[in-house]
């Protein structure tokens, strides 16, 4: 169902919205995001995944863009002004509906909607603000290695202050 995200955003009755996955828990009131300078300037705020888009990735020539350092998106929370970014949302939806299956295969290896948003915004040079992840929740397993299950995502103006907890691994189920 995550593939429906761009479609839902594009066809929403709201011009401005904060989209949250069902496994995403706000840790504070997110209402101030709508008046955050980063959102007012760009009209779109995305939160970063821990992985980056490589500068030598094969997608850059497809997008017709010079490579630039950027993180992949975590689309468990998306703040967007649809009125300002209708074209980017339409392109993300188009990519998701037409090409998502192609892009999850070699040589691209993208993962669904989160990457389709990134590709659409980059292809159109649409402005967005990207918030760096502020932490990872999990537990220590054998030999002290961290097994993370949730991203902590911060406020755009205070990325070190957790605003969302997005469960990305060991997903919740109805049997828990």
Spell out the domain ranges in the chain: 2-132
The three-class DSSP label of residue 118 is helix
Give mean pLDDT, residues 128-141: 80
Residue 84 has a CB neighbour count (10 Å cut-off) of 16
- For the entire predicted model, the pTM comes to 0.86
pLDDT in tens, 18-65: 999 888 899 999 999 999 999 999 999 999 988 888 898 888 888 888
CA distance 79 to 20: 9
The three-class DSSP label of residue 111 is coil
Tokens of 70: 């950027």
Strand partners, 137: 150
Q: Are 93 and 10 in contact (CB under 8 A)?
A: yes
From 161, 174, 166, select the one nearest 138 (Cα to Cα): 166
Per-residue pLDDT for 140 more than 70?
no
pLDDT in tens, 142-169: 676 656 667 888 899 887 899 998 876 5
């Amino acid at each position: 169902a995550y593939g429906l995200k761009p479609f839902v955003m594009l066809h929403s009755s709201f011009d401005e919205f904060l989209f949250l996955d069902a496994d995403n828990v706000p840790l504070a009131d997110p209402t101030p995001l709508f008046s955050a300078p980063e959102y007012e300037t760009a009209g779109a705020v995305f939160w970063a995944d821990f992985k980056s888009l490589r500068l030598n990735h094969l997608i850059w020539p497809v997008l017709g863009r010079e490579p630039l350092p950027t993180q992949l998106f975590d689309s468990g929370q998306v703040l967007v002004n649809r009125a300002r970014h209708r074209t980017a949302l339409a392109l993300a939806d188009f990519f998701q509906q037409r090409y998502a299956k192609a892009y999850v295969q070699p040589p691209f290896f993208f993962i669904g909607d989160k990457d389709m948003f990134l590709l659409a915004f980059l292809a159109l040079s649409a402005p967005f603000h990207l918030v760096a992840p502020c932490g990872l929740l999990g537990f220590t397993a054998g030999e002290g290695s961290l097994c993370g299950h949730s991203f902590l995502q911060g406020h755009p103006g205070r990325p070190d202050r957790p605003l969302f907890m997005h469960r990305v691994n060991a997903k919740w189920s109805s049997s828990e």
